[in-house]
Chains A and B, each alone.
Chain A
Amino acid sequence: MNSKNYSNVMTPFTDFIQTLFAENKPQLPYTKEVEKIREEGLRTFSEKDFVVFKKENKEIFEKSIANSTNWQLQLTTPAYRPVEEYFKCKVENIDSQMFFFQNGWFVNDGEKLFVNEKGVIIGSLFAALEQYPQLVLPYLTEHPSEKEDTLSALNRMLFSDGLFVYVPDNVVVERPVQLISLIDSNQDLLLNNRNLIIVGKNAQLTFIQCDDSIHFNKSFINNVTKTYLDESAKFFYYKMENKDAESLLFNELEVMQKAHSEFYSNAMTFNAGYIRNRLNVYLKEPFSRANLYGLYLVDKKQHVDSQIFVDHQMPDCESNQLYKGIVDESATAHFLGHVLVRPDAQRTMANQTNRNIALTDEAHITSKPFLEIYADDVKCNHGTTVGQLDEEAMYYIRTRGICEHSARKLLMFAFANEIADFILIDSLKARYKEMIRKRLNGELTICDHCVLHCPYVHE
């Protein structure tokens, strides 16, 4: 298959990707079903316009991609390096089960799939597909949602591997599962990880996702995580992003929720090259709930884009969104929150709040709340603010002998810490607060001295 079969206007990037796919397809992990997924991905990728961002960002994004059409795929699992080589430091007092991906591949000193006595399965998606095809395939081959765009399609075309987690009915996974994606390469890598998480009836899982770079070549990370929550399942999701300026990071998380299920998400961005976080939540059955929190702290020329879609399909569901950001220097932040309340979704409760502080005149923030409501018996609120620090509070603080500079910092910490306060794990909360403090003090950067910025690790 080559690019000339498609008639729409190509950007150099789409052209490049199609060629890359044609050349590398034979080396990508293969099964009959996966091949079909890839081909479908290619079709969508080629047919749809390459609109990744909303208008404002499109230009910047395309410019950055057009500048480098020399992305490389890593086609095989890199050699295993003991975790300790990366983690020079001691893991702090949280007890998580860590799983490492390096350059898009599951790396481990041996096993690729772990099954515990309760039937919890965690490991490489391809290993799981081989061993439990009946379990994995129905989810993996599920028709993509209408929200699929060119980047999700790109992921379907090129995905190397991903983390697979299966929690059987009635099993509570006590220790959080932590996924750490490292990049260690002297090439400019294009990575597509596809994670699949299945949480059974009454089951419970906490999942922590961290993205980090080790070598600072350019990287283009395009991750998709699909999550399925069965009846009364609980899923707690934490995301931490601390990326260098040379990286493009796209994360898409889709969550399908059945009756009485509960989804919690808390995503923090401390540094970014260009980050887009997409979160699509489908409240497919009654009494399902989603609480979504986000924080972005960006400066210099960083960009962060939060696109949230919550689909209330059935009655008596509830969703809450609270996203906050501090944008300094000439950084850019975009928030797009779309809440759809379908005709059947009576007694929906939906809240959406996005608050931003712009610290300079050059900082650019757009916030677009979008409530689309087709049911009549609903309680929906939204609020969005873009402003400066509260002057009354500044005055009050300064009357206690605290200088303007420190007063600003206190208020910025307070503003940001509100999101950290929603973290349900105490040790994680403390660690995040420490990172927020460092970040706002300008002490937290991507630098050679602090190799890994994972929240559990002490420098």
Chain B
Amino acid sequence: MLKIENLHVAIEGREILKGVNLQINKGEVHAIMGPNGTGKSTLASVIAGKEKYEVTEGSITFNGKNLLEMSIEDRAREGIFIGFQYPVEIPGVSITNFMKTAVEEVRRYRNLPPLSELEFRKMMKEKEKVVELTEKLSGRSVNEGFSGGEKKRNEIFQMAMLEPELAILDETDSGLDIDALRIVANGVNKLKSPDNATIVITHYQRLLDYIVPDVVHILFDGKIVKTGPKELALELEKRGYEWIKNEYEQQKLQ
């Protein structure tokens, strides 16, 4: 589904990603872990299409299509969803209106018939339940005045609405208390299917108790330095990032 080969990315001339290789298949959950500042969020942003990042080498293909040539919106329409670490507040744009526009444009791109008002409302209601958003979302502005937990739940709600093939959750666990974490993780698990895939980017192992990955990658110094089964996350939790750092430095010396 997603294939990243030898990806090099720079911001303002500074190289952040230095040759990332990654392949994600349908039905898989991948975790990308690593200390701060190693390029985890950069990777998510490059897949999303954020403009200030410059791809200097390598490729990203999604279902065989060259992702790097697509606009931000076309990547989303092709089925990529980014759950942000810091979702932007957009005062004045109601969630209903926002999602209606998004669903409309995504469906048009996918050659699906537009939803009727009734169908759309029904869908909103259903998807709100996924993340236990009991309070009325419809009247509120996107993320405005939301607590940290509400913002993250709103991200998962949007994911549910857009039904992506590949969801990339960037530090979705940051700033969440244990209840919010459980709700968000449950939401993600409910949306899981054999046809879609998830990348969970996280600093801590905690989230992976709830969203169990098939594969764990460790990103360090702009590269994936270690890949393993879910137990790798536990080991990392136990031994700390120093372990990876030391191992990496030694490899470098050799």
Contacts and interface: CB of A to CB of B under 8 A. Distances in A.
A402 B84 CA distance: 16
B105 interface: yes
Contacts of B77: 401
Interface string B46-84: 001111000000000000000000011101110001101
A397 B97 CA distance: 12
Given A396-B84, A406-B101, A410-B101, A401 B50 contact: no
B92 interface: yes
B138 interface: no
A399 B92 contact: no
A401 B109 contact: yes
Interface stretch (A279-287, A380-388, A414-422): A414-422
Looking at B76, B92, B93, B105, the one whose CB has the most chain A CB atoms below 10 A away is B92
A421 B92 contact: yes
B120 interface: no
Looking at B51, B81, B87, B98, the one whose CB has the most chain A CB atoms below 10 A away is B98
Nearest to B99: A400
Interface residues of B, number: 30
B198 interface: no
Contacts of A402: 73, 98, 101-102, 105
A345 to B, nearest CB: 32
B93 A414 contact: yes
Contacts of B98: 397, 400, 402, 410
Contact of B72 (A395, A411, A413, A414): A395
Given A410-B98, A414-B141, A399 B93 contact: no
Looking at B72, B82, B109, the one whose CB has the most chain A CB atoms below 10 A away is B72
A399 B105 contact: no
B106 A401 contact: yes
A400 B76 contact: yes
Contacts, number: 76
Contacts of B90: 393, 396-397, 410-411, 414
A115 interface: no
A392 interface: yes
A9 interface: no
A335 B77 CA distance: 41
A403 B73 contact: yes
A418 B87 CA distance: 20
Contacts of B106: 400-401
A396 B99 CA distance: 12
The 7 lowest CB-CB distance pairs between A and B, nearest first, are: A414-B92, A401-B76, A398-B72, A401-B106, A400-B102, A396-B88, A414-B93
24 contacts: A395-B72, A396-B87, A399-B49, A399-B72, A399-B75, A400-B98, A400-B102, A400-B106, A401-B76, A401-B109, A402-B73, A403-B71, A404-B71, A406-B101, A407-B73, A410-B90, A410-B93, A411-B93, A413-B92, A413-B93, A414-B93, A414-B141, A416-B92, A421-B92
